[in-house]
């Protein structure tokens, strides 16, 4: 206990730093515990010592910092002085500024009031001046002057006038106001009367004079109404005159078939000219945005007159009548009874021209009205104006009438197209030396003509509808015609007879003679059917191409239309309709493929097969002597080549290059397959293999000259078979097989290689079996 006393006391001073409290130490009784605590306390003492040393070490730096701070002392005092001085100055400036600005504000207020006073004084003076001016002007019949005074009065601030009336001179102001209002009413009446008089007298100068006065009196609407009426009456008389000329006049002229389109054009051009000439006046005197109102008036007259022209057109051309005949004829689908398509030609052209004129006119109006709104306020040509404009143009009677005309036009044009195509089919002729017959060119000429006419109407919907109909005619009607012709098939047997040459022809003649009649008709009609089939194949191929060309040309034509500003939605519509033509073109391609397959199976296969199988009758199990004999007199391949040449020569002259190419390709495939089958049925000696190799080489060399396709690939298997049949001994195959194959890719399986090896009579089957492939 006594030992621990000082330590404990010291620890006590250190207080909280020690982890062992005094009480704990005092409570300790065991020596072990005491020692442990002692150790602990010693360690703590060391720590405290090092800490103390570190703190003492810092003393130097703290001292230097203190010195620096002491040196800064006086400076701080200086700064404080400056700062308070600055603050004083700012306060002073601030109050000064406030003083000044208060005065300025007061001045400003005073100035504004002064201006107002001057304004009002001016207004009152003006009022008086106007009152006097109006009287004199009215007396002098100087209506422009009077209207200018009234305009001045009307543009005065009404509240100012009210205020003035409350002032001292109220009675005087009241009197002049009354006088002004009186004069205003009087002037309005006079101007209206004068304008009516001028309208009645058809005095354009006077009409325009009074028309200009209306907006000054705040009567924009009335002025435009009256002016519109005047212009309408002018248009009306002119239009009626024109219509009378058109319907009664000499129809012998060149333009007679288009006389109603011309009359409509005159009307629309007349209105366009009126708009063009009067737009400046309206814009100058009425301000921008008022052209719409004037055009609304003009459009009413336009609708009336256009309706009259169209009515007359329908009546004189028998438009509805023709429509009904065409319509009922299409429903019954009985050809020949209805109206001649040719008779519809002029009326269809006239309708499309009329619609095109109307579209052009409406486009002109739209451009003018929107431009006029735009002058008023570029930002506010918004929705409302645009909607009003569109509503006026799209739903005006002219538009509706034209839509009706086009509604009748489409079925008639469809009728024209279907009937003309039927005719072209019925009158189909084929001239020797031509690849296609006349109906293909005729049919596409008609389709193109009809679509072009629809396009010339400038109506996108009309164009789309005709593209749809054209597509339908081509895809259903016309394709059906070609399909049926192909279905009659290619007369196989007779052709074979002819191809077999003189001997068979003789036998045919003999058999005919035996039957007691010489049947050349059979040969001739078969010849005819054969030519018809080949021509139809060409027709199908050209159709497919023509449709693609038609689509491309229409795309070009339409892009011109879009440059004139049709919307993107319209463009998408046309493109969608045109894209259907691509499908139709593909359908013709399918048909061509079908026809070619038919030709291949009926005309080529039955002929080529026996030629190839005659290979069987030529022994290839030969010795030196026979080989030399073959060398001198070719037993098989030369005849085959001659036969093939004869067969293809006919197709070469009768078919388009594209079809001829496909045919030769089909034929070479056929030959290679048949050859393979035949070779596997033969047996070969060493020299027989060599003979076959020679024969194959000649055949491939010949076929290479007649096709544009590469045929080496098709004959790869056969060439490899020839290689095998040419081996000296069985094991030689290993020089070409597996790792030794080099650039050669084997198309034969190991089993097939064995099969071919077995064809050699001199190869032993044990050797073949023993091979490791």
Given the rule CB under 8 A, which residues bind other proteins?
391, 394-395, 400, 403-404, 406-408, 410-411, 414, 459-462, 464-466, 468-469, 471-472, 568-569, 571-573, 575-576, 578-580
CA distance 329 to 336: 9
Minimum distance of other proteins from residue 545's CB (angstroms): 19
CA distance 246 to 309: 9
CA distance 533 to 486: 6
Pair 482, 589: CB distance under 8 Å? no
Minimum distance of other proteins from residue 365's CB (angstroms): 16
- Specify whether the backbone of 618 is left (phi greater than 0), alpha (psi in -120 to 50) or beta: beta
Minimum distance of other proteins from residue 472's CB (angstroms): 5
Instruction: Write the secondary structure of 697-728 as one string of H (helix), E (strand) and C (coil).
Output: HHHHHHHHHHCCCCCCCCCHHHHHHHHHHCCC
- Specify whether the backbone of 737 is left (phi greater than 0), alpha (psi in -120 to 50) or beta: beta
Minimum distance of other proteins from residue 564's CB (angstroms): 18
Pair 772, 695: CB distance under 8 Å? no
Minimum distance of other proteins from residue 161's CB (angstroms): 42
Question: In whole angstroms, how far apart are CA 574 and each of 61, 161, 362, 579, 585?
Answer: 91, 64, 21, 8, 17
Running DSSP on this structure, what letter comes out for residue 283?
Answer: I
Residue 150 corresponds to which tokens in the numbers above? 């009234």
Minimum distance of other proteins from residue 450's CB (angstroms): 13
Query: Which residues make beta-bridge pairs with 620?
Result: 684
Minimum distance of other proteins from residue 571's CB (angstroms): 7
Query: Which residues make beta-bridge pairs with 760?
Result: 684
Is the CB of 77 or the CB of 568 nearer to other proteins?
Answer: 568
Minimum distance of other proteins from residue 300's CB (angstroms): 20
- For residue 498, give the nearest of 512, 511, 509, 485 by alpha carbon: 509
Is the CB of 203 or the CB of 404 nearer to other proteins?
Answer: 404
Is the CB of 584 or the CB of 607 nearer to other proteins?
Answer: 584
- For residue 713, give the nearest of 668, 663, 658 by alpha carbon: 668
Who contacts 393 (Cβ-Cβ below 8 Å, separation ≥6)?
362, 365, 366, 399
604: how many CB neighbours lie within 10 A of its CB? 23
Minimum distance of other proteins from residue 393's CB (angstroms): 11
Residue 505 corresponds to which tokens in the numbers above? 């022809």
CA distance 655 to 239: 61
Query: Residues for the chain: how many in total?
Result: 773
Is the CB of 324 or the CB of 698 nearer to other proteins?
Answer: 324
CA distance 79 to 657: 106
Instruction: Report how far Cα 554 is from the mean position of its chain's Cα atoms.
Output: 13
Query: Which residues make beta-bridge pairs with 773?
Result: none
Minimum distance of other proteins from residue 259's CB (angstroms): 24
127: how many CB neighbours lie within 10 A of its CB? 23
CA distance 651 to 438: 20
Minimum distance of other proteins from residue 363's CB (angstroms): 15
Query: Which residues make beta-bridge pairs with 332?
Result: none
Residue with tokens 């009784």: 29
Minimum distance of other proteins from residue 269's CB (angstroms): 25
Is the CB of 208 or the CB of 557 nearer to other proteins?
Answer: 557
Is the CB of 227 or the CB of 415 nearer to other proteins?
Answer: 415
């Amino acid at each position: 206990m006594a030992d621990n006393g000082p330590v404990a006391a010291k620890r006590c001073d250190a207080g909280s730093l020690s982890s062992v409290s005094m009480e704990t130490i005092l409570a300790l009784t065991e020596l072990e515990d005491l020692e442990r605590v002692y150790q602990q306390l010693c360690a703590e003492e060391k720590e405290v010592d090092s800490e103390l040393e570190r703190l003492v070490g810092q003393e130097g730096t703290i001292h230097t910092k203190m010195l620096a701070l002491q040196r800064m002392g006086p400076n701080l005092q200086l700064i404080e002085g400056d700062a308070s001085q600055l603050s004083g100055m700012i306060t002073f400036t601030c109050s000064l500024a406030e003083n000044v600005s208060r005065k300025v504000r007061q001045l400003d207020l005073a100035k504004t009031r002064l201006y107002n006073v001057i304004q009002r004084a001016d207004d009152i003076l003006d009022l008086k001046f106007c009152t006097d001016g109006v009287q004199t002007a009215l007396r002098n019949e100087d209506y422009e002057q009077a209207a200018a005074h009234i305009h001045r009065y009307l543009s005065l601030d009404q509240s100012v006038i009210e205020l003035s009336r409350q002032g001292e001179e109220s009675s005087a102001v009241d009197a002049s106001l009354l006088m002004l209002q009186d004069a205003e009413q009087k002037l309005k009446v006079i101007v209206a009367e004068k304008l009516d008089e001028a309208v009645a007298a058809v005095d354009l100068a006077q009409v325009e004079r009074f028309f200009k006065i209306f907006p000054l009196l705040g009567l924009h609407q009335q002025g435009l109404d009256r002016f519109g009426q005047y212009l309408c009456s002018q248009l009306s008389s002119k239009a009626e005159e024109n219509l009378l000329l058109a319907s009664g006049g000499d129809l012998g002229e060149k333009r007679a078939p288009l006389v109603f389109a011309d009359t409509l054009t005159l009307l629309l051009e007349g209105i366009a000219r009126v708009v063009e000439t009067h737009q400046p006046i309206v814009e100058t005197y009425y301000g921008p945005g008022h052209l719409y109102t004037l055009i609304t008036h003009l459009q009413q007259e336009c609708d009336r007159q256009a309706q009259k022209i169209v009515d007359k057109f329908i009546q004189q051309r028998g438009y509805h009548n023709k429509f009904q005949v065409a319509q009922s004829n299409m429903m019954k689908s009985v050809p020949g009874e209805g109206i001649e398509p040719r008779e519809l030609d002029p009326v269809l052209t006239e309708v499309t021209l009329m619609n095109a004129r109307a579209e052009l006119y409406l486009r002109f109006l739209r451009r003018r009205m929107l431009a006029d709104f735009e002058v008023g306020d570029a930002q506010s040509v918004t929705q409302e104006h645009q909607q009003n404009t569109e509503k006026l143009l799209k739903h005006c009677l002219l538009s509706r009438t034209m839509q009706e005309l086009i509604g009748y036009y489409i079925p008639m044009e469809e009728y024209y197209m279907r009937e003309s195509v039927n005719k072209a089919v019925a009158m189909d002729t084929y001239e020797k030396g031509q690849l296609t017959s006349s109906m293909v060119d005729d049919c596409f000429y008609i389709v193109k003509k009809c679509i072009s006419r629809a396009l010339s109407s400038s109506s996108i919907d009309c164009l789309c509808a005709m593209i749809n109909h054209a597509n339908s005619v081509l895809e259903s009607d016309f394709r059906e015609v070609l399909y049926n012709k192909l279905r009659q098939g290619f007369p196989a047997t007779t052709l074979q007879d002819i191809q077999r040459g003189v001997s068979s022809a003789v036998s045919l003649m003999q058999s005919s003679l035996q039957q007691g009649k010489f049947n050349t008709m059979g040969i001739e009609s078969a010849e005819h059917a054969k030519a018809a089939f080949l021509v139809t194949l060409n027709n199908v191929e050209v159709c497919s191409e023509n449709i693609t060309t038609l689509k491309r040309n229409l795309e070009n034509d339409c892009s011109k239309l879009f440059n004139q500003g049709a919307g993107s939605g319209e463009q998408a519509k046309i493109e969608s309709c045109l894209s259907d033509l691509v499908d139709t073109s593909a359908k013709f391609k399918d048909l061509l493929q079908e026809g070619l397959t038919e030709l291949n199976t009926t005309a080529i296969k039955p002929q080529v097969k026996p030629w190839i199988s005659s290979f069987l009758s030529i022994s290839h199990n030969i010795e030196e002597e026979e080989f030399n004999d073959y060398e001198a007199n070719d037993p098989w391949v030369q005849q085959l080549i001659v036969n093939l040449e004869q067969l293809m020569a006919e197709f070469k002259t009768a078919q388009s290059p594209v079809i001829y190419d496909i045919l030769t390709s089909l034929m070479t495939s056929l030959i290679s397959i048949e050859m393979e089958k035949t070779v596997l049925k033969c047996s070969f000696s060493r020299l027989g293999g060599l003979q076959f190799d020679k024969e194959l080489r000649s055949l491939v060399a010949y076929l290479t000259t007649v096709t544009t396709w590469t045929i080496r690939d098709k004959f790869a298997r056969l060439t490899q078979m020839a290689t095998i049949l040419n081996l000296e001994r069985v094991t030689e195959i290993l020089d070409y097989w597996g790792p030794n194959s080099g650039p050669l890719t084997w198309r034969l399986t190991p089993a097939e290689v064995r099969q071919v090896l077995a064809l050699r009579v001199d190869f032993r089957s044990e050797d073949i079996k023993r091979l490791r492939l």
